[in-house]
Each structure stands twice: as C-alpha cells, then as structure tokens.
Amino acid sequence: MDILRVNNLTKVYNSYKGAKEVVALDAISLNVSKGEFVGIMGPSGSGKTTLLNILSGVDKSTSGEVIISNKDISKMKKDELALFRRTNIGYIFQDFNLLDSLTLQENIALPLILDKVEPKDINKRVLNLMSFFDIEDLNKKYPYHISGGQKQRVAAARALINNPSIIFADEPTGNLDSKSSNNIMQTISRMNKEIDSTVLMVTHDPFAASFCKRIIFIKDGKIKMEITSNGDRKRFFDKILEVQSVIGGDN
Ligand SMILES: Nc1ncnc2c1ncn2[C@@H]1O[C@H](COP(=O)(O)OP(=O)(O)O)[C@@H](O)[C@H]1O
Ligand SMILES: [Mg+2]
C-alpha cells in the first residue's frame, strides 16, 4: 500500500512579475509504500528542502499532487491541512525542538494535548513510547537534564505519539558528531523496523543515508537516479558515494 504518492510535483519560486523564476522542483513523481525507509539526496540547491516542505504541508506546490494516506493535501484548506498534519504526520527536526520548560513526558505528549485526547490515554501512550526508547526513567526530567542522545530519543517518541502514517526527517544528523549520528540513525531505523513506521528522510550525509532501504537522488529539481539496499549497510554506503561522485554531493 502506498502511504505517499507524489505526482508531477512542480515548484517555481518568484513567479511573480519581474522576478527571476527558479524552478526548484520540476515534475517530480514518486511513491512510498507502508514501512519503507526512503532517503532523498542531492547536491546543495537540488530542491531537497523544498520537496520536504511541500510533502509535509509546510509549503504549497505550484502544481502537482501530494497524496498521503489517500488524501490529497495539495487541495486542503488551511484548517483541514493543520488538523491533517497533527494527526497523520510526524517530524524529526535537526535540532529536536524540545521545549525547555516542559518535562520530557510533557514534551512527548504535547501533540496530543492539542487534539483533546483523554489524559489517561495520553499517559499510557507516552509511557509506552518512553519504554520502547529506553527513556522511561526520564519522564519527570527536563531537556537540560539529559544528554544529546536521550534528546534524540525523546524527539523520536514525540514524532510517533500521534501514530503518524508517515514520518519526515530533515537532516537528522545535521551537525552531530559521529557517535550521536549513529545513535539517531539507530533510533530511526528501529522505529522503521520494529514499529513498521514509514520514514522519508532528506539528508546530504552518506552515513545517515546508508540506513535507508531506498534512496532517490535529485538534481536541479528532477529525479536522476534511485538505488536500493540489499541490507548490507557498508555496501550501500559505498554505492551512495559512487552515485554522489557522479551526481554531486552536498556542500
Ligand atoms: N524561498 C525561496 N525563494 C526563491 N528561491 C528559493 C527559495 N527557497 C529555495 N530557493 C531556490 O530553490 C532551489 C532549491 O532549493 P532547496 O530546496 O533549498 O535545495 P536543497 O535543500 O537541496 O539545498 C535553489 O535554487 C534555491 O536557491
Ligand atoms: Mg536544504
């Protein structure tokens, strides 16, 4: 079953009078099925951020369709889209976005509080996820009490709290050192394997990408190539480097 279907997605920036147009996405079509872990890679300026912003409903396309769980989000009105995003989409941000004045338990619960879920159901779900990520002892602690690795697991738990049909991750290894990068990727990989979460991740980092099952390379707003993993991460890493040497990496 396809969780995400993208048809002929095009984004043109500055298409108003007099300004120079930038075609950031040029007729992109792709599908992501349930339980997949897909990476989007491409050189700087290739359209990765634009694509993720449109798929996650943060930005609007110029034309084309974005269908998540059989609903076309490109046709939704503002309120409908906001509700859809809260109930169907999970996000993992580079900088975790945890709120310092809330406990970790409250941080994870926050997306549900907005939707008036029963407090006892919220608690049950939060504690379940905290136990899944081995952070159940930290429920009353605050973000400044915990390590970077623990913060990542809190952020992952929060992304899963609404039981999303798809999780979007934007450069999750960003500026992290190799140990933290490994931690966050192990966490995302576990979500994908053990909870069957569907994940779409944008990254310029071949190490992070090596955890994916499939990678779509874009350049100049177009899909250039797609590669799949046979499960051997080291081999997939080498494959990614090879494609990057042809298409161009980031930075
Ligand atoms: N808000 C904007 N206005 C005009 N052009 C933009 C805007 N955002 C991105 N672009 C342009 O669109 C292209 C794709 O950018 P982006 O999606 O940020 O690529 P990437 O994330 O792969 O580096 C680039 O040429 C960039 O300069
Ligand atoms: Mg970007």
Confidence check: pLDDT of 251 > 60: no
Q: What is the pLDDT, as a whole number, of residue 115?
A: 78
The dihedral region occupied by 47, where left means phi > 0, alpha psi between -120 and 50, and beta the remainder, is left
> Ligand 1: which residue has its CA nearest to atom 12?
24
What is the CA(170)–ligand 2 centre distance, in A?
Answer: 8
Confidence check: pLDDT of 73 > 60: yes
Q: Which atom of ligand 1 is nearest to the CA of 218?
A: 22
Q: Give the model confidence (pLDDT) of 101-132 as tens digits.
A: 999 999 999 888 877 788 899 999 999 999 99
Pairing of strands 199-202, 222-228: unpaired
Domain total of the chain: 1
Expressed as residue numbers, the domain containing 170 is: 2-247
Q: Which helix (H) or strand (E) holds 203?
A: none
Q: Give the model confidence (pLDDT) of 174-207 as tens digits.
A: 877 888 889 889 989 999 999 999 999 999 999 9
How sure is the predictor about 250, in pLDDT bands with cuts at 50, 70 and 90? low
How sure is the predictor about 10, in pLDDT bands with cuts at 50, 70 and 90? very high
Q: Which atom of ligand 1 is nearest to the CA of 11?
A: 12
Unique residue bearing structure tokens 């999750």 = 172
> Ligand 1: which residue has its CA nearest to atom 18?
49
* CATH number of the domain enclosing 198: 3.40.50.300
Q: Are the C-beta atoms of 138 and 168 separated by less than 8 Å?
A: no
Confidence check: pLDDT of 238 > 90: yes
Pocket of ligand 1 (CB under 6 A): 13-14, 22, 24, 42, 44-50
> Ligand 1: which residue has its CA nearest to atom 1?
13
List, as ranges, residues with CB under 5 A of the ion ligand 2. 48-49
Name the average pLDDT for the chain: 92
